Amino acid sequence: MGRYVIRRLIQAIPVLIGATLLIFCIVFALPGDPVAALFGDKRPDAAVAEVLREQYHLNDPLLLQYWYYISGVLFRGDFGVNFAQVPVSEILAGKFQVTLNLALTALIMEAILGVGLGLWAALRRGKATDTMILASTLLLISIPTLVTGFVLQLVLGVKLKQWTGLDIFPVAGTFAGLRSYLLPGFVLAGVSVAYLTRLTRTSLVETLRADYIRTATAKGLSRRRVIGRHGLRNALIPLITYLGADLGNLMGGAVITETIFNLPGIGNQLFTSVYLREQPVVVGTITVLVLIYILANLVVDLLYAVLDPRIRYE
Amino acid sequence: MKKTSTNVLPAEGGLGDEPLLAVDDLHVEFHTRAGTVRAVNGVSYTVGPGETLAVLGESGSGKSVTAQAIMGILDMPPAVIPKGQIRFRGTDLLKLSEEARTQVRGQRIAMIFQDALSALNPVFTVGWQISEMFRVHRGMSKSDAMKKAVELMDRVRIPAARQRVNDYPHQFSGGMRQRIMIAMSIALDPEVLIADEPTTALDVTVQAQIMELLAELQRESQMGLILITHDLGVVADVADKIAVMYAGRIVEQAPVYDIYKAPAHPYTKGLLDSIPRVDQKGQDLYAIKGLPPNLLDLPTGCSFHPRCPYRQDNCVTDVPPLYEISGTRGSACHYWREVLDGDQQ
């Protein structure tokens, strides 16, 4: 087990370098001179521009620039500053909490709804319940987040309050505490719920066909125990993997949801920064997202080894 | 078929006239989209305490389906049991409620399967899986149940049982895994043990060890053993009597010695003739002509007639009953006399 963990940690290093280098190159390739952008409408004095250029290492080769950046991030936690000289890490700190809250709300909803509906469908396989659940997941997959977001915002956020006077789901912002995350969390989880439902159903149906399930029945165990202990324990393995990897997706996918519900998270920030061409913030935000993605995958792999003993000893 | 289910569990103690386990005119069908597959068509056999019945037959002959019907682990639907009885100590298991059946399953009638790697749960330790029998059925504490598991692993002669009890199935060799399967099945001293091709997935030397172990455990506990196999070599040493199955029917039933001496059914004869023998080295192996029957569309009359060298006209039209040859022997062939004599010439 110890060796497996170390091996997985070492494998994460090239992924981190590759992903961040790619982002760095893409942002570097964006048109426009950052120093010129710094001065806005005015034209900078050539000497001043040159000083700034030197200060920001803009005359160095791309790879060296990347090294300055990534070593700052990894060894000093320094993500650089934006044009207004505010440290990027400071900009992201508060926003990060909002996005994490949103993603975790979505993840919990996804896990409960997806696994629950999937189990229900699997145990009623071929019956009306199963068909209905499968059809509704298809519907959920087909509608883009943009549509579900606005529709739910209008119906549950605005109209529900007009009709009943109850303010259950705030329309925007984070002023209502955790309650603010319910509606955006559900919108964000939507498509993932559908996928997880289908995955759960397939996984359990597949597992219940296995020989060891027949053995468990032959041992005289109750159906509840056969499915709940012997079946579920095996069927859960791919689901945990999917859920873990999906945390990264949810944080990345939060851009649209945060924009719709006006949540001050990193998705919203990314949207604004791309719009304003604040390159250090864009790179910093994406680097953080990549780090989370890698971390989530690492946790999944470790969890996988815990859940499936056959992985540990390979 | 309408059935009234009861909760009365089979009695314990003396047997009286009833055999320990009696399968009586059992029919099993599978309703599939392609049609009705008649997997078992009127199988009857009995097994007594300490007795070993070998059920012999090729794939698709219905031997495993019969066993699964006894255990009550058929998927119903698609499986349907339209007719027949499975009496355990005089109680028809098919009439028991699911709850009562669960009480019999595993505790009084146990089963071991062909491929122990897929039959054991990959995510639990072998100790956990064996001790589950004691925890669930006997209400034992975790540590007591684990001790029992170690004892059982010792009993089926797994070396260093105490150290290996926390290992997972994939860490054992094929033979050791089958021993674990056996340990699990005999945990609660069942009265009947069904072994469904227990040695098929193992190599020959290990096969012999496993069969020896089963025979020894049977002697110690006097359980009835139903040994399902397609391997005639395995049968000869351990079985008391043999039931040969073909197309969901028993075609010949006899004490083991009689069958090897002189088969009374052309199919049994074909099976025995197709065993490779040293004195026929270099010659072509004998093979039964034709293909196994299509269970969706069984041949009329005797199911074996398209492949039978003894076929006469009435074989195509009349289904042969199990003719009684002697008190312990039967053959479902209209011309069993010819088959029997032909072999003795």
| Domain spans in chain A, listed from the N-terminal domain onward | 2-76, 91-312
Choose the closest CB to B123 out of A214, A222, A233: A233
Triad A231, A234, A236: Cα angle to 5°:
105
CB contact under 8 A, B184 and A219: yes
Banded model confidence at residue A23, pLDDT cuts 50, 70, 90: confident
Please state, as a whole number, how many other Cβ atoms lie within 10 Å of the Cβ of residue A36.
Answer: 12
pLDDT at position B344 over 50? no
User: What are A228-233's contacts with CB under 8 Å, separation 24+?
Assistant: A230/B121, A230/B124, A231/A204, A231/A207, A232/A119, A232/A204, A233/A307, A233/B121, A233/B123, A233/B124
B156 pLDDT above the threshold of 70: yes
Whether B14 has a pLDDT exceeding 70, the answer reads no
B113 → closest Cβ in A211, A230, A233: A211
Cβ–Cβ under 8 Å, residues A148 and A233: no
Nearest CB to B120: which of A212, A217, A220?
A212
Average pLDDT of A146-154? Answer: 81
Q: Given the structure tokens 């392609």, which residue do they identify?
A: B34
What is the pLDDT confidence band of residue B210, given thresholds at 50, 70 and 90?
confident
pLDDT of residue A307: 81
pLDDT for residue B343? 47
Question: What per-residue confidence (pLDDT) applies to B6?
Answer: 63
User: Rounded mean pLDDT of chain B?
Assistant: 82
Q: Is A215 on the interface with B (CB under 8 A)?
A: yes
* Angstrom distances, CA of residue B89 to CA of A24, A221, A277, B104, B196: 78, 22, 84, 11, 22
Q: How confident is the model at residue A312 (pLDDT cuts 50, 70, 90)?
A: low
**Hey, is the C-beta of B126 within 8 angstroms of any chain A C-beta?**
no
CA distance B213 to B221: 12
Least confident of A98-112, A280-294, B237-251: A280-294
Q: What pLDDT does A174 receive?
A: 66
Chain A contacts of B104, Cβ < 8 Å? Answer: 220
Q: Please tell me if residue A217 touches chain B, with a CB cutoff of 8 Å.
A: yes
Closest CB to B123: pick one of A216, A218, A308: A308
Q: Is A234 on the interface with B (CB under 8 A)?
A: yes
Quickly state the pLDDT bin for B212 (edges 50, 70, 90): confident
Q: Kindly identify which residue of chain A lies nearest to residue B121, measuring between CA atoms.
A: A212
Determine, for residues B119 and A221 on separate chains, whether the beta-carbon distance falls below 8 Å. no
Sign of CA dihedral B22, B102, B165, A302: positive
Residue A278 pLDDT greater than 60, yes or no: yes
Q: Express each pLDDT in A25-80 by its tens digit.
A: 887 777 667 777 667 777 778 888 888 778 777 778 888 888 888 888 778 777 77
Neighbours of A233 (CB within 10 A): 16
**Contact present, A106 and A267 (Cβ < 8 Å):** no
Does residue A218 belong to the interface with chain B, where contact is any CB pair within 8 Å?
Answer: yes
Burial class (CB in 10 A: 0-12, 13-18, 19+), A32: exposed
- Examine the pLDDT at A313 and tell me if it is beyond 70: no
Nearest CA in chain A to B125: A309
Q: Which has more pLDDT, B14 or A306?
A: A306
Question: Is residue B4 over pLDDT 80?
Answer: no
What's the average model confidence in pLDDT over B38-43?
A: 85
Q: Look at chain B and count its residues.
A: 345
Whether B171 and chain A come into contact, CB under 8 Å, resolves to yes
On the question of pLDDT at B141 being above 80, the answer is: yes
B72: closest chain A residue by CA? A218
B166–chain A Cβ distance below 8 A for any pair: no
State mean pLDDT over B268-275. Answer: 81
Q: Is the pLDDT of residue A268 over 50?
A: yes
C-beta of residue A184 within 8 angstroms of C-beta of residue A257: yes
* Identity of the residue in B110, B119, B132 whose CB atom sits nearest the CB atom of A211: B119
Question: Largest Cα–Cα distance in chain A?
Answer: 86
Give A151-165 pLDDT, tens digit per residue: 887 777 777 777 777
Cα radius of gyration (chain B): 21
Fold of domain A91-312: MetI-like fold (1.10.3720)
Question: What pLDDT is attached to residue B345?
Answer: 38
pLDDT value, residue A112: 92
**Considering only alpha carbons, which residue of chain B is nearest residue A231?**
B121
Whether residue A179 lies within 8 A of chain B, CB to CB, comes out as no
Work out the minimum CA distance from B293 to partner chain A, whole angstroms: 26
Among the partner-chain residues A216, A217, A309, the one whose CB lies closest to the CB of B123 is A309
Residue at B190: amino acid letter: P
Q: How far is B169 from chain A (nearest CA, A)?
A: 9
Helix axes A128-142, A88-123, angle to 10 degrees: 150
The pLDDT value given to residue B296: 81
What is the pLDDT at residue A175? 65
Quote the pLDDT of residue B11: 67
Is the pTM here over 0.80, yes or no?
Answer: no
Q: Please judge whether B170 and A218 are an interchain contact, meaning their C-beta atoms are less than 8 angstroms apart.
A: no
Residue B243 has pLDDT above 80, yes or no: yes
Q: Do B123 and A221 touch (CB under 8 A)?
A: no
**Residues A213-237, mean pLDDT to the nearest whole number:** 88
Mean pLDDT of A184-196: 86
Q: Could you say which of B107, B118, B168 has the minimum Cβ distance to residue A309? A: B168
- B103: which chain A residues are within 8 Å (Cβ-Cβ)? 220
pLDDT above 70 coverage of chain B, percent: 94
B119 and chain A: CB distance < 8 Å anywhere? yes
Residue at token pair 């009695």: B11
Residue A268's Cβ-count burial label (10 Å; 0-12, 13-18, 19+) is: buried
For the cut 70, the answer to whether the pLDDT of residue A233 exceeds it is: yes
Q: Is B77 within 8 Å of chain A by CB?
A: no
In 3D space, the residue among B342, B338, B332, B337 whose CA is nearest the CA of residue B304 turns out to be B332
Residue B2: pLDDT band (50, 70, 90) is very low
ipTM: 0.82
